[in-house]
Structure 1
Amino acid sequence: MGCAHGKSQEAYSPAGIDREYQTHHQQQHHLQQLPKSPVSPLIITKDHRKIASPKLPPVGPARSMAERGSPKLEAVDIDDTFRPSPGSKPLAGMLNASQSPYSSDLDISDLPRFSKVSNTFLPTSGSKVVRVPDFNYELRYSFLTQRGYYPEALDKANQDSYCVHTPFGQDTNDHFFGVFDGHGEFGTHCSQFARKQLCDNLLRNRHFKANALKAYHQSFIGTNLQLHRHHIDDSMSGTTGITVLVRGRTLYVANVGDSRAVVAERRGKKLYAVDLSNDQTPFRQDECARVRLCGARVLTLDQLEGLKNPDVQCWGGEEDDDGDPPRLWVANGMYPGTAFTRSIGDTVAEQIGVIAVPEVLIMELSHQHPFFVIASDGVFEFLSSQAVVDMVAKHKDPQDACAAVVAESYRLWLQNETRTDDITIIVVYIDNLFDPDTGKNTENNEEVESAVGEAEDPEKLTSSAEDCPADDVERGARVGGIIAPVSQLAWRQGLVIYLSACTRRSAVKEEWKMLSRWILYFFERWMMSFMRNLELRWVEDA
């Protein structure tokens, strides 16, 4: 599977006019001929094949990186951050917050202009299904991407890319999903380059089978270096990257930037969102402190322009973002203005601490995890992780879930801003994952209530430094990620799962239980010795 961007630039106007306007004058002329009737900001056809959107007026601030020219300039034109002119109408006043994403009372006579919006694309045959044979469960997935609306760049390409590889490489138990959100003048090229090269680097990495954590670390850094050497100009352009490797029943989630992965977790009759990644932005105190040590100035636009005290941290948490997020600036210039602290590319921003080292999280799937979601920040700008999980939980088909989330994200962008970001999402349902401890699987779908509250901190899913052997802590610190040790527990859990399954199938259950305890005891002693020696070799090699 590969990434898809807009297949064409064909327009779909609400009055049925789908031909391309050649000039702005022609555009205005035809608008005068359109009837005054309700228009939907996002129209999904009955078969979910296309989403069409009218064009709306200029944009307000958001958290993407600046798109600008040479860093020698004294001022920058920051993409996604320019302020609407005083005469422009705020979209919130034009669109009722309670309106459905499928209907609107907008009068097109109130809109200054319409223009073309690229198609969005779903898999041609709908949702896809792949098996994880060693654990006898299935992954049902779908994906959707929507080009953003930028009033000052009506033909701006979709800078989001995604990839789905099922299987990933030769092992049918490995499956790979990724979303890459490009930024800057050449962001589209950067995201497409990273999408392909990262996968190639992972599969070629000699540690990929034995140590996915180390392979992820080396592959992200290697992809970043390859992009620097490529003819693509990544001085002020780059891409985020959020990827999920499904290996058996284990998820390896690697992230640079502010795209996000979320898993749904069932607790009783409630479904909670658990973040599998931490957005890497200056809102995080640890990331803010790190880039400052590298020489970055961390300021909002108001602080940079002297409207607020630059010596006082005037921003709260990301949930309190007022549209003017903290950004990174060189010591004596007004560039690069990145609103993230890690990315692939961005050679200028690397001078002030922006790095391509991923944070990696490892977790075990269980029957309590019905699905997970990967999406660009275009989804999470106005939707919390919990809101996304609640929406996906209402649909049995991941294709419908993708369409619903994109529709709501698009609607909220138009309600709160005068433009939209590119929006990309992958939804993966987990079916028939058997839990030997409870005898249940992920198809035991009792009616689940949505949980109210914020998503769980992903650090709770991983071991703390105190719980890890010294070698694991050292290696985790070296890759710059959440501590995720290569533990003997993984081997123990695998053996328990296998022996428990045998026990349930055997008529002589007590004999099997006794035998399993002895096998487990000797196997664990041997594996502890083997893994300790292997880990020492990894440390020496590194």
Structure 2
Amino acid sequence: MSEAIQNSKPKRESDSGDSSSVAKKLKIDQSQNPEVDSSGSEANSDAREMGFEIEAEVAEDKGLRHAMEDAWVLLLDASLGFQGNLRCAHFAIYDGHGGRLAAEYAQKHLHSNVLSAGLPRELLNVKAAKKAILDGFRKTDEAILQESAAGGWQDGATAVCVWILGKTVFVANIGDAKAVVARSSPVDALQNGSDEARLLKAIVLTREHKAIYAQERARIQKAGGSVSSNGRLQGRLEVSRAFGDRQFKKFGVVATPDIHSFDLTEREHFIILGCDGLWGVIGPSDAVDFVQKQLKEGLPVTAISRSLVREAVRERRCKDNCTAIIILFRHK
């Protein structure tokens, strides 16, 4: 079995306490992994193989909320005993609402459901990987709905998830949690200058699913639901896609994720995953600049993730639960 780092029993933060965090490293030798073309099939390429090391760190703070309803997963070796030669890492944040039961269930079961649905473990196939992620989300939501009906609870949870298979990154999300990648320009990538000299651009990798947005509103209305003047489904739920939320499923709430994939190059430096509590007070560009500045100062990822969450809660007055994961790529 692989080493798993999960907050099944998260630390609670006092209003004056530091955020909890944990850091691990994973080295990946890309020469063992095939190149893939845009169709998702194995292909030969003259591109230079790239090696990199992943460092991952998570920090959390309950903010002014009475309880922490976020849950997270940090798996640097995400094989979970499944056989295969393709190296895999997995990271996720689940932001619960109405309770943390849906978030906890997804934390414990989504990745294993994705693996069981056929996440590639030998040669990478992008289409197969996306289908496995889609099927894993569906299976997890169906199980949460059954569990909630049997247990008489109605919790929901948004999600932002990352899988790294070989050198290919897959990002899947439902709701308003986001993933942002820090990417340098092609000119910077061709130069031999230090990371400190590079200007990093914040690229949002996810799409928000809120009831007020036209595409989401249309689906809700087609299902017989309504969006009130405050932008909430049935006047209550702001997000339009989530795990659970049993009472809102008949009004168009779904757990179908948007899935995006790209190959890691020397232009990608780090990814920030965050719940809406983080992004509600820090914009993507500000977050990337904040992390890059502290990397320039030589701070470890452990300290940077704590500092980012502290900035959101203490300095920018985030009142919500706040969780952030920083995935750092150190290129050889």
TM-score (norm 1): 0.50
Contact map agreement 1:242 1:255 (CA 8 A) in 2: yes
Q: 1:282 Cα deviation (Å)?
A: 2.5
2:316 and 2:103 mapped to 1: Cα distance? 22
1:491-530 mapped onto 2 (5 Å cutoff)? none
TM-score (norm 2): 0.80
1:276 corresponds in structure 2 to: 205
2:246 corresponds in structure 1 to: 347
Contact map agreement 1:179 1:374 (CA 8 A) in 2: yes
1:250 corresponds in structure 2 to: 168
Q: CA 1:346/1:430 → structure 2, altered by over 3 Å: closer, same or farther?
A: same
User: What CA RMSD, in Å, does the superposition of the two structures yield over aligned residues?
Assistant: 2.1
Contact map agreement 2:12 2:61 (CA 8 A) in 1: no
1:427 corresponds in structure 2 to: 326
1:228 corresponds in structure 2 to: 145
Counterpart secondary structure, 1:163: strand
Q: CA 1:263/1:207 → structure 2, altered by over 3 Å: closer, same or farther?
A: closer
Contact map agreement 2:114 2:136 (CA 8 A) in 1: yes
Deviations 1:485-523 (CA, angstroms, capped at 9, x unpaired) = xxxxxxxxxxxxxxxxxxxxxxxxxxxxxxxxxxxxxxx
Q: 1:4 Cα deviation (Å)?
A: 5.1
Deviations 1:452-480 (CA, angstroms, capped at 9, x unpaired) = xxxxxxxxxxxxxxxxxxxxxxxxxxxxx
1:76-87 mapped onto 2 (5 Å cutoff)? none
Q: CA 1:390/1:8 → structure 2, altered by over 3 Å: closer, same or farther?
A: closer
Q: Max radius of gyration: which structure?
A: 1
Q: 1:203 Cα deviation (Å)?
A: 1.8
1:20-99 mapped onto 2 (5 Å cutoff)? 50-51=17-18
Deviations 1:15-36 (CA, angstroms, capped at 9, x unpaired) = xxxxxxxxxxxxxxxxxxxxxx
1:4 and 1:139 mapped to 2: Cα distance? 23
User: Which residue, 53, 62, 68 being the options, matches 1:147?
Assistant: 62
Unaligned runs of 5+ in 1: 12-41, 44-49, 52-119, 151-155, 302-325, 434-542
1:161 corresponds in structure 2 to: 71
Q: CA 1:362/1:381 → structure 2, altered by over 3 Å: closer, same or farther?
A: same
1:121-520 mapped onto 2 (5 Å cutoff)? 121-123=20-22, 127-135=23-31, 136-150=51-65, 156-169=66-79, 170=83, 171=85, 173-184=87-98, 187-209=99-121, 210=125, 211-230=128-147, 233=151, 236-267=154-185, 268=188, 269-301=198-230, 326-329=231-234, 337-396=236-295, 397-411=300-314, 414=317, 420-432=319-331
Contact map agreement 2:95 2:159 (CA 8 A) in 1: yes
Contact map agreement 2:20 2:306 (CA 8 A) in 1: no
Deviations 1:86-121 (CA, angstroms, capped at 9, x unpaired) = xxxxxxxxxxxxxxxxxxxxxxxxxxxxxxxxxx31
Deviations 1:26-85 (CA, angstroms, capped at 9, x unpaired) = xxxxxxxxxxxxxxxx75xxxxxx51xxxxxxxxxxxxxxxxxxxxxxxxxxxxxxxxxx
Counterpart secondary structure, 1:252: strand
Contact map agreement 1:157 1:188 (CA 8 A) in 2: no
Q: CA 1:375/1:183 → structure 2, altered by over 3 Å: closer, same or farther?
A: same
Q: 1:411 Cα deviation (Å)?
A: 3.0
1:234 and 1:386 mapped to 2: Cα distance? 42
Deviations 1:176-205 (CA, angstroms, capped at 9, x unpaired) = 000000001xx2121111111101111212
Q: Which has the higher contact order (CA 8 A, sep 6+)?
A: 2
1:4 and 1:218 mapped to 2: Cα distance? 24
Contact map agreement 1:159 1:183 (CA 8 A) in 2: yes
1:412 and 1:282 mapped to 2: Cα distance? 30
**Mean CA deviation greater in 400-409 or 192-201:** 400-409
Counterpart secondary structure, 1:338: coil
Matched, 1:3 2:7: yes
Q: 1:207 Cα deviation (Å)?
A: 5.0
Q: CA 1:297/1:199 → structure 2, altered by over 3 Å: closer, same or farther?
A: same
Q: Which has the larger strand fraction? A: 2
Q: 1:409 Cα deviation (Å)?
A: 0.9
1:181 and 1:251 mapped to 2: Cα distance? 21
Contact map agreement 1:133 1:172 (CA 8 A) in 2: no
1:199 and 1:207 mapped to 2: Cα distance? 10
Paired-residue identity, %: 24
**Matched residues, number:** 284
